[in-house]
Amino acid sequence: MEENNFSKSIFIKSIVLTVLVTALVTSMVTMIVMNNNESSSLLDKISTKLASIEQIVDKDYLGEIDENKIFDETMKGYVDGLDDEYSQYFTKEELEEYKTDNIEGQFVGIGVYIVQDTEKNAIRVLAPIKGSPAETAGILAGDYIVQVDGVTYTGEQITEATNKMKGQEGTTVKIQVLRGEETLDFEVERKNVRVNPIESNVYDNNIGYIKISSFDQGCSKEFTTKLEELKNKNIESLIIDLRNNGGGIVDEATAIADLFTDKGSTLLITKDKDGNEDITYAESDKAIDVPIIVLTNENTASASEILAGALKDNNVAKIVGTTTFGKGVIQELLTMKDGTGLKLTTNEYYTPNRSKINKVGIEPDENVELPDEYKNVITVPQEQDTQLNRAIELLKNMIYTSKYINFISLIIAIVIFFMLNILFMKTSNISVKNISNYIPKIEFKKEKAVSKVKQEVNDEELEKWYIEIPKINLKAPIENGTDLKLNQKSVTIMYD
């Protein structure tokens, strides 16, 4: 009987212990699952929703299903959901095209820089590429692309519109734009467009000029080559034209800024989502030190603003024109294992003085507007280019002021030289007597002194040397090469 009671007691305790352990394990597992659910709840929701949609589509959809397209569009939808106008998902083919167009600077299309206008949900033309089919057709900066081949596109569909404008060389595409209140239609032939990012020139008064259209790969090297060519032409100042430059590769912009700033100068400050800073410094000494003016307008964006801000904040350049676009965020281009890509906004950048750029822009030191009829034109005749002409005028004044200051400095140096000359003569107990209208010419070599004077004698202008030796009362012309001892110092009188 006692053994049975003992066995029952052990059995009951085992059951209780098992229940307690099970409860503890279940509790721990539940806590882990709940924590994982909190971090992956969005992913779970997406998976659950997609599974439900897939079941319905598989069961009832009448047409054919392209699973690859569904996958790509799903990924694009996720990135589009960030509501960031600059972040973008690329298929493998789109990524290759993007690299060719935006990094190598060559593509087949109509040749326009475009941007998504989030306020109007429209596609805005930053600028047609110089010499491109778009420029030839008459498309202008500031136009809004409404339709491509009869299909209407919004700002959110900028990628689709871009792809539609590309195509086989020699084919045509119809572009409808909105310019103010006017709707215009263009038929543009697709061509192989090669971006020529650097142009140079020399204006009167040895004013150098370099225009950068975009910061494509290798842009900084080409800029350096153009700058060396201008230096060999003895330029005394420089204009850097960044108008209608929509940006490009950040490292190309900072490499150009490095040419004009002192080694160790701050060129760019970037911050990530956690507030961590990364500062880019100039790595080399100045390649040239001349007055510089940077031209900007409302289409100067991104990497262009980085260059303009770096030169302005380091006090090596003045900015003339209008306030820049205000794209102060940087995107990283990531390539996935399957060859697809993700362009993602990861950093916001600031000028060396920590001025905010994004949605603000860089204000010029002197605001100058173009005439209304030329505000959205890429190629402006020089006589109508008020911004360029103002820059030339300012640089002429800077050069004149610099030369005037140098001249005054030279005069001061000459005066100081003569004063020191006279002081030397007095301290050496040598004085020139009975002369008029002379200009001393003194040359010091160790303990030798040379002083050449002119005097009229018997109506003839003769070159003679007069010296007075204290306490000896000697006052007579001194022959060339005569050696005298004055105050126990040997002095040789020499003249030309």
Six token digits for residue 354: 């920590």
Question: Taking a C-beta distance cutoff of 8 angstroms, is the pair 395, 208 a contact?
Answer: no
Could you confirm whether 87 is annotated as catalytic?
no
Distance separating alpha carbons of residues 450 and 442, to the nearest angstrom: 5
pLDDT band at 352 (very low <50, low <70, confident <90, very high): very high
pLDDT above 90: residue 37: no
Catalytic pick among 214, 302, 304, 451:
302
Residue of 333, 355, 335 lying closest to 344 (CA atoms): 333
pLDDT above 90: residue 144: yes
Question: Taking a C-beta distance cutoff of 8 angstroms, is the pair 203, 194 a contact?
Answer: no
pLDDT band at 462 (very low <50, low <70, confident <90, very high): very low
Say which range, 117-121, 220-224, 269-273, 471-475, has the weakest mean pLDDT. Answer: 471-475
Q: What is the pTM of this model?
A: 0.66
Phi, psi of 382 (to 5 degrees): -60, -35
SS3 399: helix
Question: For all residues of the chain together, what is the average pLDDT?
Answer: 80
Task: Using CB atoms within 10 Å of the CB of residue 84, give its burial: 0 to 12 exposed, 13 to 18 middle, 19+ buried.
Answer: middle
State the pLDDT at residue 117. Answer: 85
Question: Taking a C-beta distance cutoff of 8 angstroms, is the pair 209, 267 a contact?
Answer: no
State the pLDDT at residue 406. Answer: 77
Residue of 356, 330, 351, 333 lying closest to 343 (CA atoms): 333
Please name the residue that has the structure tokens 């100042």: 237
Could you confirm whether 327 is annotated as catalytic?
yes
Distance separating alpha carbons of residues 235 and 58, to the nearest angstrom: 71
- Bridge partners of 198, per DSSP, are 212
Question: Taking a C-beta distance cutoff of 8 angstroms, is the pair 79, 342 a contact?
Answer: yes
Distance separating alpha carbons of residues 263 and 270, to the nearest angstrom: 19
Residue of 60, 355, 401 lying closest to 205 (CA atoms): 401
Question: Taking a C-beta distance cutoff of 8 angstroms, is the pair 467, 425 a contact?
Answer: no
- Bridge partners of 485, per DSSP, are 490
What pLDDT digit, counting tens, does each position of 75-129 carry? 999 999 999 989 999 999 989 888 877 666 667 899 988 888 888 999 999 888 8
Catalytic pick among 191, 226, 318, 327:
327
Please name the residue that has the structure tokens 């005298």: 484
Question: Taking a C-beta distance cutoff of 8 angstroms, is the pair 254, 268 a contact?
Answer: yes
Question: Taking a C-beta distance cutoff of 8 angstroms, is the pair 134, 162 a contact?
Answer: no
Q: What is the number of H-type helices and E-type strands within the chain? A: 9, 27
Could you confirm whether 445 is annotated as catalytic?
no
Cα 59 from chain centre: 55
Task: Using CB atoms within 10 Å of the CB of residue 76, give its burial: 0 to 12 exposed, 13 to 18 middle, 19+ buried.
Answer: middle
For the CA atoms of 79, 81, 83, 85, the dihedral, rounded to the nearest 10 degrees, stands at: 30
Q: What is the DSSP letter of 339?
A: S
What pLDDT digit, counting tens, does each position of 157-178 carry? 988 898 899 888 899 999 999 9
Six token digits for residue 86: 């600059």
pLDDT band at 242 (very low <50, low <70, confident <90, very high): very high
- Bridge partners of 474, per DSSP, are 469
Three-class HEC string of 74-94: HHHHHHHCCCCCCCEEECHHH
| Angle in degrees, CA 296, 392, 323, rounded to 5 | 15
pLDDT band at 196 (very low <50, low <70, confident <90, very high): low
Please name the residue that has the structure tokens 């699973």: 67
- Bridge partners of 374, per DSSP, are none
Task: Kindly report the length of the chain.
Answer: 496
Distance separating alpha carbons of residues 411 and 429, to the nearest angstrom: 28
Catalytic pick among 313, 318, 343, 385:
313
State the pLDDT at residue 495. Answer: 40
State the pLDDT at residue 485. Answer: 44
**Beta strands per DSSP E along 118-165:** 122-128, 144-148, 151-152
Phi, psi of 80 (to 5 degrees): -60, -30
